[in-house]
Amino acid sequence: MTLLLIHTGGTIGMTPGPQGLTPEPGLVEAAIAARLPAGAALTAHVFAPLRDSADIGPTDWNVMLDVLEAHPGQPALITHGTDTMAFTGAALSQALAGAARRVVLCGAMHPLGQGGDAERNLDLALAAAQAPGVGVDLAFAGRLLPAAGLVKHDSRGADAFRSQPQDPGSPPPQRRFDPARRLAIVTLSPGLPAPALQALLQALDGAVLRVFGAGTVMHDRAILAVLAQAIAQGKRLRAVSQCEAGGLSPGAYAAGAALWDMGIENGGPETPEAALARLWLS
């Protein structure tokens, strides 16, 4: 067996330095090589420079997909920081839908060699990568979580992730992300000034709208006019719930009727990260 490693960076591969944790080249590769069974080989693609996950985005997802495509059939382990793990999980899950690849994401809240969670997470990820099966999962805190609906719900605890069920995905119209497309997640909140929302949407090609509950929006004529204008300009707006679980139920409340009447897309149970990836790939 040959295991493909894509090491992007993140806490798992850092060591303490004078100004705090800093990336340590070779740390993750050595830890994995020491854990591989006899006869197994390791192919490594290491980002240079190693990236804090706060800097990971569509260009980096394309690099990961290109590396995966260049090594067909090999199970892959991707080490990654936790802050944008949910975005990368959603992006890869959708881009690889129907591709029959085994990809396991892995990160940690504490670095290797510091007595924290890194070694346990890495052991679980390696076992999962070598087991039969396909799909994209996260190995974290003793569990394998479907990466399509990841939510980082704790900024400090070792059990930092949950996964919300997502509708089964079909192969997307395209499998790469266009970094030139201007997309973002926009949260509707009480008191949001319509001119602020208008200015933001004018700078975007499309957006994920985090709306209230099962799919409601404030009865603010100015806000609704801004959303309708964006739709009329050909901007794609996809709605998701601000609640972590449950998703949207169009028609459940009259307070949400305006959203669907003007042509805003229903993201259903999608997380904001999943909805953003959906816009990028369609």
Q: Which domains does the chain have, with CATH numbers?
A: 2-163 (3.40.50.1170), 183-281 (3.40.50.40)
Q: Which residues of the chain have pLDDT under 70?
A: none
Distance between CA 75 and CA 89 in Å, rounded?
A: 16
Instruction: Note the pLDDT tens digit of each residue in 145-197.
Output: 999 999 999 999 999 999 999 998 889 999 999 999 999 999 999 999 999 99
Distance between CA 145 and CA 163 in Å, rounded?
A: 6
Distance between CA 197 and CA 201 in Å, rounded?
A: 6
- Tell me what pLDDT residue 246 has: 96
Distance between CA 106 and CA 33 in Å, rounded?
A: 15
Contact by Cβ (8 Å): 124, 144 = yes
- Tell me what pLDDT residue 270 has: 98
Contacts of 77 (CB under 8 A, 6+ apart): 3, 4, 5, 6, 32, 103, 104, 106, 125, 126, 129
